């Protein structure tokens, strides 16, 4: 899966703040994601992220 820093991903389940969208801050074995709604940051394994993605928005698409 081709994911890069700055991409906005839409996940299957919402964050408790209600937002489904996350910005990618770090790519590797783990991803650092920032919630677009409340700016909360999390680290999550690549395998889990790839499984939960619904849609990817590249920075030029926004």
Q: What is the pLDDT of residues 5-57, one digit of tens each?
A: 999 999 999 999 999 999 999 999 999 999 999 999 999 999 999 999 999 99
- Residue 1 resides in a domain: no
- Residue 2 resides in a domain: no
16, 26, 38, 44 from 55: Cα distances, Å: 19, 18, 20, 17
> Cα–Cα distance between 52 and 62 in angstroms, integer?
21
Looking at the 3D structure of the chain, how many domains does it have?
1
- Residue 22 resides in a domain: yes
pTM for the whole thing?
0.89
- Residue 27 resides in a domain: yes
- Residue 3 resides in a domain: no
CA 31 to chain centre: 8
1 pLDDT tier (thresholds 50, 70, 90): confident
Could you list the residue range(s) of the whole structural domain that residue 39 is in?
Answer: 8-61
């Amino acid at each position: 899966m081709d994911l890069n820093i700055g991409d906005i991903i839409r996940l299957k389940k919402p964050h408790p703040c209600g937002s489904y969208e996350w910005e990618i801050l770090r790519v590797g074995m783990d991803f650092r994601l920032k919630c677009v709604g409340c700016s909360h940051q999390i680290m999550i394994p690549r395998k889990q992220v790839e499984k939960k993605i619904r849609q990817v928005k590249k920075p030029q698409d926004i």
